[in-house]
Amino acid sequence: MAESKLTAQQQAAYWEKTRGLMLVILAAWFVFSFLIHFWAPQLNTIRILGFPLGYYMAAQGSLIAFVLMCVWNARAQNRIDREFGVQDE
């Protein structure tokens, strides 16, 4: 593999963008893992297709969000990699 030709400045800029993406997704992860479930008893009073909403979010809603977060991370990071020309394939 060719040696990467990033200057120290480019490396810092690359990492700042990568870290920004990580923090945004980490925040989304926190919301769907913990925050919304604090209100599960209140959400449960709303019913959609028979599902109490609080139950639905823990059984299915958050799971869909997790899958989307992983896809989002893969795509957004690929864009950052290409922007700096450091993609490995």
Partner 1 sequence: MAAIQGGFLANLGRVYAIYTGAFVGFTIFIGILELFGVPNRILGYLFIFLTLGVYALIGWLARTAEVNEYYVAGRVVPAFYNGMATGADWMSAASFIGMAGSLYFGGYGGLAFVLGWTGGYVLVSILMAPYLRKFGQFTVPDFFSARYGGNLARGLAVIVLITASFTYVVAQIVGVGIITARFLDIGFQVACFVGLIGILLCSMLGGMKAVTWTQVAQYIILIIAYLIPVVVLSAKVTGVPIPQIMYGQALEKIEAFEKTFGVAQPYASAFTDARGNYSPTAMWNFFALILCLMVGTASLPHILMRYFTTPSVKQARDSVAWSLFFIFLLYFTAPAYAAFAKLEVYQNVIGQPIAKLPAWVASWGSIGLVGACDTAQAAVNFALCKGVTGNGDGILQLSEFRLHTDAVVLATPEIAGLPYVISGLVAAGGLAAALSTADGLLLAIANALSHDIYYKMIDPNADTKRRLIISRVLLALVAVVAAYVAGTLGADILFLVSWAFSIAAAGLFAGLVLGIWWKRAGDAAGVWGIVVGFGLCMFFLITTEFYGPWVKANLSWLGDINIVKIRGRDVAYIWGINNISVGIFGIPAAFLAMLVAGWVSKPASAEMQDFIDSIRIPAGSVRNAEAAH
Interface positions with partner 1 (CB under 8 A): 1-4, 6, 11, 14-15, 18-19, 21-22, 25-26, 29, 32-34, 37-38, 40-41, 44, 47-52, 54-56, 58-60, 62-64, 66-67, 69-71, 73-74, 77-78, 81, 84-89
Give the nearest distance from C-beta 22 to partner 1 in angstroms: 5
Question: Which pairs with CB-CB distance under 8 Å and at least 24 residues apart come from 21-29?
Answer: 21/73, 21/76, 21/77, 21/80, 25/69, 25/72, 25/73, 28/65, 28/69, 29/66, 29/69
Give the nearest distance from C-beta 57 to partner 1 in angstroms: 9
